[in-house]
Structure 1
Amino acid sequence: MRRLTPLTVFVLSAFGWIVVLTALWSQVSAWTSYPVGVLSHMALEQGAPMWIRQATVTPGNIEVDTAVSVPAPEQGGRRGELTVEANPARYAYGLPIFLALLFAARGKGLGWRAVAGWALLLPGQAFSLTMSLLMQIVMAAQTNIRLLRVSQWQMEAIIYGYQLGSLVLPTLVPILLWLWLDRRFVQDVLVRGWRDSLAPSAPPQS
């Protein structure tokens, strides 16, 4: 029976860890992602003071009261100030991905690297959450620049930031972070295994 290569073992182990850790993370995500909501709260107050009145962060939710006035259909077309909300964990699922790669590599210093990785993931997750909330405001205002009191380039920056934060960062950042924190394993196992897989096999002995 052919023996599995270290690269294959790593891939299978990482997949298994992702399944297990994602299930565990879903039970505690409201608490592990709470700092994401706090960072997003700070970013909104500093970056969009003309829109934000107050933001309330609780485990599993961030609610933002805005100064943006939009039509309220349930009130006969009268206008009301917009409130948006989101779950910070929605963009924090990179944590189990990062931990799965870390555990699959089985390197030294798992504890401190796990904690460091969790902390380093927070800014990117907060960016994604912030862009999601801003995009909700933009969509509710029907991208009306005059109503939102912003310029065209600011509107486009929010749209592109939302796409980056929702489609790219949640999965790319944990992988890049792991590649940086576990670079010796990457060099010794992954890169070497990839090179070996490209090398031509030796001809059979006659």
Structure 2
Amino acid sequence: MRATLIGRFLLLAILGLMVLLPLWYWASPWLATPPIWLAGTVMKLLFPWAESFDQKGVMAVLHTLVQVRMKGPQGDVLGELTPEVSYPTYGYGLVLLWAMLIASHPPRWWLKGLIGSLVLIPLQAFCICFQWLRDVVIYSGPSGAAYLNYPSWVNEVVVYGYQFGFLMLSPVAPIVLWLLFDKRFVAALWLEAALSDKPEPARQTARMD
């Protein structure tokens, strides 16, 4: 395949990532606020054991009433579980989306970037919620399971939701948004690939009379 349109896109996308990643990392404490607030609010509304939440830099902290066994100075004691989630684990899709939009440069790319950024907030909150749920439901041990008293199928749902968010939703969602925002560029990439893979017609040799 000739490195023309797709090669230019890949080069600009990589350069965009190199420039945007440090800026995103610097702004992560502010960018993390909306998804952490949304995730914490949803958890408090849905689960009575979710007492409160707060943000410490890029960390989303959930304060729960779930009792777990911890090591103390004089032996094991029961304490309240407080799981933490790092926003950059799920927030990197924001940089990926903007880098691809800058590389392909569709009409009103900046507006599409803003819309995509808003769409990613509930998706990031989904991932944060399921990591909190994984830590509470799966990693809390026998004491936590006894406190929650959930049926076994809940564990499977939580594990599936966490894996879906970590492995699929975070990396794939920005790519899907870019595909929706720049269909003309994607069509041009497919056309270039089809033309480059098409065999050239055989040259006809002139006959000597």
For 2:186, the aligned partner's letter is: V
**8 Å Cα contact 2:68-2:140 kept in structure 1:** yes
**8 Å Cα contact 2:81-2:140 kept in structure 1:** no
Deviation at 1:88, TM superposition (A): 2.1
Q: Which residue of 2 aligns with 1:9?
A: 8
Deviation at 1:130, TM superposition (A): 0.9
Looking at structure 2, the residues matched to 74 and 139 of structure 1 have their Cα atoms a distance apart, in angstroms, of: 22
Deviation at 1:181, TM superposition (A): 1.1
Q: Which residue of 2 aligns with 1:46?
A: 45
Structure 2, gaps ≥5 residues long: none
Looking at structure 2, the residues matched to 4 and 70 of structure 1 have their Cα atoms a distance apart, in angstroms, of: 56
Q: Which residue of 2 aligns with 1:153?
A: 153
Looking at structure 1, the residues matched to 30 and 82 of structure 2 have their Cα atoms a distance apart, in angstroms, of: 23
Cα 1:110–1:146 change in 2 (3 A) is same
Looking at structure 2, the residues matched to 204 and 20 of structure 1 have their Cα atoms a distance apart, in angstroms, of: 47
For 2:154, the aligned partner's letter is: Q
> Equivalences for 1:1-206 in 2 at 5 Å?
4-49=3-48, 51-75=49-73, 76-142=75-141, 145-187=145-187, 189-203=188-202
- The count of aligned residue pairs is 202
Cα 1:80–1:12 change in 2 (3 A) is same
Cα distance per residue 1:148-189 (max 9 Å; x no partner): 2212221211111111111111110000011011112211x2
Deviation at 1:71, TM superposition (A): 0.8
Deviation at 1:22, TM superposition (A): 1.5
Deviation at 1:193, TM superposition (A): 1.6
Structure 1, gaps ≥5 residues long: none
TM-score for the superposition, normalised by structure 1: 0.89
Deviation at 1:205, TM superposition (A): 7.0
Cα 1:131–1:192 change in 2 (3 A) is same
**8 Å Cα contact 1:37-1:126 kept in structure 2:** yes
**8 Å Cα contact 1:141-1:148 kept in structure 2:** no
Looking at structure 2, the residues matched to 59 and 95 of structure 1 have their Cα atoms a distance apart, in angstroms, of: 18
Indicate the structure (1 or 2) with the bigger Cα radius of gyration.
2
**8 Å Cα contact 1:34-1:88 kept in structure 2:** no
**8 Å Cα contact 1:34-1:58 kept in structure 2:** no
TM-score for the superposition, normalised by structure 2: 0.88
For 2:153, the aligned partner's letter is: W
Cα 1:100–1:149 change in 2 (3 A) is same
**8 Å Cα contact 1:141-1:147 kept in structure 2:** no
Looking at structure 1, the residues matched to 122 and 201 of structure 2 have their Cα atoms a distance apart, in angstroms, of: 49
Looking at structure 1, the residues matched to 200 and 15 of structure 2 have their Cα atoms a distance apart, in angstroms, of: 30
